[in-house]
């Protein structure tokens, strides 16, 4: 069954949005198959966002991701990669539709509270980066 990697970033955890976000994925019908709270090192954040290494905001982004606890999760279900991104909304919360997580709960792109894998290959890589095989149910 299809799986994706979803992470609540330090701003989402700090703002107390964990239950709100998990509820949206659960109510849709997706299944939580792994979950843990971790403070990633900066080197780990750089690995996670490696594809963005040439972007001007890369350093700030990696500092931010490693600034506090991140709730790392794997969700499973038909179409979960694409539909998970729909639940999350556009990257820039100013452009996210109301009804989406970022649309309802965030204002600026640098503090957009949640990450979701953008395709099957990234989902596989990110799940393997964040979780060991025996942590997956």
Which residues here bind ligand ATP, judged by CB under 6 A? 52, 57, 61, 91, 109-110, 112, 115-116, 118
The gap between the terminal CA atoms of the chain, to the nearest Å, is: 12
CB of 134 to ligand ATP, least distance (A): 26
Respond yes or no: is residue 115 known to be catalytic: yes
Q: Is 111 annotated as a binding residue?
A: no
Contacts of 72 (CB under 8 A, 6+ apart): 5, 7, 34, 35, 36, 37, 38, 130, 131
- 115, 123, 126, 131: the active-site residue: 115
By C-alpha distance, which of 74, 89, 83 is closest to 34? 74
Task: State in angstroms the smallest separation of the CB of 26 from Mg ion.
Answer: 23
- Choose the contact partner of 57 out of Mg ion, ligand ATP, none; CB within 5 to 8 A by kind: ligand ATP
């Amino acid at each position: 069954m299809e799986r994706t990697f979803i992470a609540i970033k330090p701003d989402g955890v700090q703002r107390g949005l964990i239950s709100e976000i998990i509820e949206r994925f659960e109510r849709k019908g997706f299944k939580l198959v792994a979950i843990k709270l971790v403070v990633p090192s900066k080197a780990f954040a750089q690995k996670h966002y490696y594809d963005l290494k040439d972007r001007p905001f890369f350093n700030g982004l990696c500092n931010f991701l490693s600034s506090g606890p991140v709730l790392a999760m794997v969700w499973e279900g038909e179409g979960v990669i694409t539909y998970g991104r729909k639940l999350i909304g556009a990257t820039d919360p100013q452009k996210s539709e109301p009804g989406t997580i970022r649309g309802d709960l965030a204002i600026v792109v640098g503090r957009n509270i949640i990450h979701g894998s953008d395709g099957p290959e990234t989902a596989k890589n990110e799940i393997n980066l964040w979780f060991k095989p025996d942590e997956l149910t």
